[in-house]
Structure 1
Amino acid sequence: MDTKNAIIVGGTSGIGLAVAKNFLAKGLQVAVIGRDELKAQEAEAELTALASSPGQVQSFSGDASDRPAMEAIYQTLMEKWKTLDILVHVAGISGRKWGDGPLDECTEEGWNVVMNNNLTSVFHSNQLALRIMKRQRSGSIVNISSILGMVGAQDHFVTHAYAASRGAVISMSRSAAVYFAKDGIRINTVCPGLLDTPMSQRAINNEEIREALTYLQPLSPHIGYPQDVASAVAFLASDEAKFITGIALPVDGGWLAQ
């Protein structure tokens, strides 16, 4: 993967930051995008300390669902890079505080906010990347979805707007993978189970949920970490996976297998 470059949307914390660190270790040029300006600056400082060459890391603050902001960031990067080898889209939210929940209780605001942040944002980042990759007839896209886009859930994980948005990312990615294969572009999805990330702290610190994970994610230690997903992303993004496209890869400790 040496000499390649990668955009990581949602790359300033959690899974995205782990992906960025992994890519840096493999010699890539990395641009991370995050909603919060301070977190973007902190991520750039942390990643720059790990970089092997000047200018290997760039950071940008911007809302992934804001099309003009994303277009401006992509334009800035392409003026420098000229080409785009890898896009990883991690950015997404849990919509509980906006009203996501069981379908009969989910508010319209909750539905719209979740769809905008978890699906429309992926549409923007992927479309902008595909227009570049199609011209160069090469590229790899990895979208982060969730195991909740692949399985039904009870009790602790009943957020149906979230599940719908994650399932839609898988379907969009799979359909696009078939269509853009002729252009030398691969598109895959990684579907994490419950991980120890900033977005998951409510669940991680709930004793009932931790107990449920012993059978939902039977593989010890029953909870995943950002690096587990980063390793899967690195494989799918690399030439080692050059004959793999359109898959949804669970990184879930065995949740889907049951």
Structure 2
Amino acid sequence: MRFEDKVVVIIGGTSGIGLETAYQFAAEGAAVVITGRSQDKTREKAEEIRGKAVYPDRIVPISGDATKSADVQSIFDQTMQQFGKVDILVHVAGISGRKFGDGPLDECTENGWDVVMESNVKSVYLTNHAALGIMKEQNYGSIVNISSVLGMVGAREHFVTHAYAASRGAVIQLSRSAAVYYSKHNIRINVVCPGLLDTPMSQRAATDTVIREALTKLQPLEPHIGYPDDVAQAILFMASDDAKFMTGVALPVDGGWTAQ
């Protein structure tokens, strides 16, 4: 019950890491605002979360596109109208841009670059920007942004999507720089960097037998692939007072990928 009096906004809370994180915050007593682009899916997942929540009436779905400033502002305006504060922001939303033209730098299309940067960097800027305006007034808050191991280290063969890597590196550096500046307002900003997980976004890689074999070396810790619960546990730790003296940290949850 670390979060009984906390209000948590989860950007991208309808699947994978975001949904599992919402479940766990709700199980520890938080008021949880989950967001997603689809109104129907956001409402459906909020109803599922209520089934595991300590306070089911404090689970609120708000649909919106995190790359649109008006939608992001609406999410935070509605949260403030309902709860009067934002204690924690968790930004999970993002994409893999391969289908839009991402790839090795000499092959990455301009459209692939633009779509990935908008989805993975601009969205973080918009949500963090909105949350920080509220948290400065409160003089406290905790932000956890999700990046990737590919924002920390280079990759060969199976994971060569250079716009994606650049976008994830940008999230880390934006978070670190902001963490230093906003510490004077008692606001902590940290990053969790997953390795390859078994999530809807990663199904292409997670179900490829060649990639799964490569993971035995890339992620040497068995079972060589992570799950949403592994990352959600790290997010809750970073968001909680258990990590009250940690800010500007990029925490890998990667089965040993970045340790090599």
Shorter-normalised TM range? over 0.9
Instruction: Establish whether residue 233 from structure 1 lines up as the match of residue 235 from structure 2.
Output: yes
In structure 2, the partner of 1:185 is 187
Query: Do 2:231 and 2:253's aligned partners in 1 also have CA atoms closer than 8 Å?
Result: yes
State the Cα deviation string for residues 127-168 of structure 1 (Å, max 9, x = none).
000000001100000000000000100100000000000000
In structure 2, the partner of 1:51 is 53
In structure 1, the partner of 2:144 is 142
In structure 1, the partner of 2:9 is 7
In structure 2, the partner of 1:21 is 23
State the Cα deviation string for residues 97-139 of structure 1 (Å, max 9, x = none).
1100000000000000000000000000000000000011000
Code of the aligned partner of 2:70:
P
In structure 2, the partner of 1:174 is 176
Query: Which 5+ residue runs of structure 2 have no aligned equivalent?
Result: none
Displacement of 1:73: 1.5
Query: Do 2:9 and 2:88's aligned partners in 1 also have CA atoms closer than 8 Å?
Result: yes
In structure 1, the partner of 2:105 is 103
Q: How many residues align?
A: 258
Query: Do 2:145 and 2:190's aligned partners in 1 also have CA atoms closer than 8 Å?
Result: yes
In structure 1, the partner of 2:128 is 126
Give the Cα separation in 2 of the matches to 1:193 and 1:87: 21
State the Cα deviation string for residues 11-45 of structure 1 (Å, max 9, x = none).
11100001101101110000000112222122111
In structure 2, the partner of 1:81 is 83
Give the Cα separation in 2 of the matches to 1:56 and 1:21: 13
Give the Cα separation in 2 of the matches to 1:153 and 1:237: 29
1:196 is paired with a residue whose SS is coil
Displacement of 1:183: 0.3
Give the Cα separation in 2 of the matches to 1:28 and 1:187: 19
1:65 is paired with a residue whose SS is coil
Q: 65-74 vs 106-115, which deviates more? A: 65-74
RMSD of aligned Cα (Å): 0.7
In structure 2, the partner of 1:162 is 164
Give the Cα separation in 2 of the matches to 1:138 and 1:144: 20
Code of the aligned partner of 2:6:
K
Instruction: Establish whether residue 194 from structure 1 lines up as the match of residue 200 from structure 2.
Output: no
Instruction: Establish whether residue 256 from structure 1 lines up as the match of residue 258 from structure 2.
Output: yes
State the Cα deviation string for residues 162-185 of structure 1 (Å, max 9, x = none).
000000000000000000000000
What does 1:201-240 align with in structure 2 at a 5 Å threshold?
201-240=203-242
Q: 2:115 aligns with which of 104, 113, 116?
A: 113
Give the Cα separation in 2 of the matches to 1:63 and 1:107: 23
Q: Percent identity between the aligned chains? A: 62
State the Cα deviation string for residues 41-64 of structure 1 (Å, max 9, x = none).
221111011122242101111111
2:257 is paired with a residue whose SS is coil
2:258 is paired with a residue whose SS is coil
Code of the aligned partner of 1:142:
V
Code of the aligned partner of 1:149:
G
Give the Cα separation in 1 of the matches to 2:239 and 2:56: 23
Give the Cα separation in 1 of the matches to 2:181 and 2:88: 18
Code of the aligned partner of 1:131:
G
Displacement of 1:72: 1.0
Query: Do 2:191 and 2:249's aligned partners in 1 also have CA atoms closer than 8 Å?
Result: yes
Give the Cα separation in 2 of the matches to 1:61 and 1:5: 17
